């Protein structure tokens, strides 16, 4: 029995299409494009009708510039039928479609964040790009308040935007289909965010497995859960080695969606909390390690999205879950583990634990003979040193790595292709085992981790590894459609890659 059942709250606002501003709409959202001659109303302003010039004059009078994500709210002209108009800046609109789509997603997200306390808002940005507006608004309105008591619960004027109306000139089956897709993807990102934002006191391996199983079963997917006894008996030395320092023992979850001939394996790091183990981390900011299961959250959510979208591709998520704690039973630096499949690894640093549980899961995933394998993890601080906190590093087999990175950039998650230099491989040699889990230097740490994982990928499998150490968790202020805490990266990348494989093989 799950000790803390998944929340039944709404994951985001209700989304609906309309061809005119309804009488229940409280706020009309319009886009402002910036330019050297001042802001101009973007496509969709026709829903203002004869009030367009008056609204634009009022916005200019109060200092609206059309700067990207700038929001300004003014009273609506009498007769427009809404109480107020919210203008959101788009900046100078890009000509390239992917860049423009991301501008619109960010603007819609900023508008949704600015509309806390609003019941119904109608967005005219949907005339620029329906899918991007719907997804940006959905994600921008996300809120996580499960652990707030009545003392700090949101006041009515702080509640997230409840309903988003997407205004379109003409309703169509295609518009409904695009809206449905945006909602599924938005819900899946929100599922991943919820997992990441749930504190480790309430999300430990057994509970994480129970919640994943419940979500997958609700989506009609088959689920297998291995407990610590089964993991030990079956030789999952990496998962057991990392998890044995905790009183809350490991799990491994397998979720399968059977949708088509092409087979894709997904693997995600599920460290529900990472102290570093015996190689303990500094105390400062350790609380952010509640996010160390962001990769696991993403692959669970992506598999559910594939099922809900009915993609003609088969997907199996293999998700190792453990808590990395120091104790009398924890693994020590210098220990040797036997990974699933037989490879031995000398553990030089117990804080390089993610690669140990991923290695077990990758070998198991490759036993299914997938055509493609994507693994993702909050794996290395070196990712942030190299690429910052918003740009995932993508490694793997050259062709698939570049394909994943290109798709990631097209959806606004901005994955960047990185090499796996052969000269770094020898630095993973161990004096007593097949491999060491870290090198003896600090150079190219993200790449060395990728090279370690490469050792466990089956021959002939097209593979991509996505390091999301920074991008999975926003410790700064909100921006665009991203709030503080879990971001849901790289759910949108993975779903888009699955769609691309389904369409193109």
What is the spatial order of strands in the sheet that 336-338 belongs to? 336-338, 344-346, 435-436
- CB distance 502 to 263 below 8 Å: no
Sort residue 365 into left (φ over 0), alpha (ψ -120 to 50) or beta.
alpha
| Among 355, 401, 403, 492, the one annotated catalytic | 355
Cα 146 to Cα 74: distance, rounded to the nearest angstrom: 33
| Among 60, 281, 425, 484, the one annotated catalytic | 281
Give the helix ranges, DSSP H, for 198-257. Answer: 205-218, 228-234, 237-243
* Token pair listed for 489: 């990266």
Cα 29 to Cα 112: distance, rounded to the nearest angstrom: 9
Q: What is the DSSP letter of 482?
A: B
Chain Cα centroid distance, residue 491:
4
Q: How many helices (H) and strands (E) does the chain have?
A: 13, 21
355 tagged catalytic: yes
Cα 356 to Cα 449: distance, rounded to the nearest angstrom: 10
Can you give the length of the chain in residues?
505
Cα 416 to Cα 413: distance, rounded to the nearest angstrom: 9
Cα 400 to Cα 249: distance, rounded to the nearest angstrom: 35
Render 166-205 in DSSP notation, one character per residue: EE-SS--HHHHHHHHHHHHHHHHHHHHHHHHHS-TTT--H
Cα 149 to Cα 375: distance, rounded to the nearest angstrom: 37
Cα 432 to Cα 346: distance, rounded to the nearest angstrom: 7
Distances (CA, A) of 22 to 49, 284, 370: 14, 51, 49
Cα 138 to Cα 185: distance, rounded to the nearest angstrom: 10
Q: What residues act catalytically?
A: 281, 355
């Amino acid at each position: 029995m799950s000790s803390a059942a998944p929340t039944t709250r709404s994951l985001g606002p209700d989304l609906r299409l309309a061809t005119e501003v309804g009488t229940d709409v409280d706020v009309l959202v319009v886009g402002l494009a910036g330019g050297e001659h001042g802001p101009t109303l973007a496509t969709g302003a026709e829903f203002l009708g004869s009030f367009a010039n008056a609204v634009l004059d009022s916005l200019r009078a109060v200092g609206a510039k059309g700067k990207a994500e700038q929001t300004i709210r003014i009273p609506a002209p009498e007769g427009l039928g809404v109480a107020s108009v919210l203008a959101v800046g788009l900046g100078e609109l890009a000509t390239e479609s992917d860049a423009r789509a991301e501008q619109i997603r960010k603007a819609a997200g900023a508008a949704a964040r600015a509309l806390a306390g609003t019941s119904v808002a109608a967005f005219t940005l949907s005339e620029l790009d329906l899918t991007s507006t719907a997804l940006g608004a959905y994600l921008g309105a996300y809120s996580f308040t499960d652990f707030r008591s009545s003392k700090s619960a949101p006041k009515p004027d702080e509640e997230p935007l409840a309903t988003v109306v997407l205004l379109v000139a003409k309703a169509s089956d295609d518009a409904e289909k695009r809206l449905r897709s945006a909602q599924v993807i938005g819900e899946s990102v929100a599922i991943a965010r919820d997992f990441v934002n749930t504190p480790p006191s309430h999300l430990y391996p057994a509970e994480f497995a129970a919640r994943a199983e419940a979500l997958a079963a609700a989506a009609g997917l088959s689920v297998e859960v291995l407990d610590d006894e089964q993991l030990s008996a079956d030789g999952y030395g990496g998962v057991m080695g990392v998890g044995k320092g905790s009183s809350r023992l490991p799990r491994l979850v397998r979720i399968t969606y059977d949708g088509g001939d092409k087979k894709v394996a997904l693997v995600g790091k599920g460290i529900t909390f990472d102290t570093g183990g015996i190689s303990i981390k500094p105390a400062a900011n350790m609380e952010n390690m509640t996010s160390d299961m962001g990769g696991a959250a993403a692959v669970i959510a992506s598999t559910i999205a594939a099922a809900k979208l009915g993609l003609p591709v088969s997907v199996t998520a293999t998700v190792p879950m453990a808590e990395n704690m120091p104790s009398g039973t924890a693994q020590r630096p210098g220990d040797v583990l036997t990974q699933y499949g037989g490879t031995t690894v000398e553990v030089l640093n117990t804080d390089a634990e993610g690669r140990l549980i991923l290695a077990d899961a990758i070998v198991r995933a490759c036993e299914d003979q997938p055509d493609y394998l994507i693994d993702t993890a909050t794996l290395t601080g070196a990712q942030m040193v190299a690429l910052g906190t918003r740009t995932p590093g993508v490694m793997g087999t050259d062709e698939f790595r570049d394909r994943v990175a290109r798709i990631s950039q097209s959806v606004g998650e901005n994955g960047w292709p990185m090499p796996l230099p052969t000269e770094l491989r020898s630095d993973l040699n161990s004096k007593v085992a097949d491999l060491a889990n870290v090198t003896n230097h600090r150079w190219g740490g993200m790449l060395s981790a990728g090279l370690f994982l490469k050792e466990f990928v089956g021959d002939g499998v097209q593979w991509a590894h996505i390091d999301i150490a920074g991008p999975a968790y926003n410790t700064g202020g909100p921006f665009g459609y991203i709030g503080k805490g879990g971001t849901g990266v790289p759910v949108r990348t993975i779903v888009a890659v699955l769609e691309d494989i389904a369409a193109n093989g």
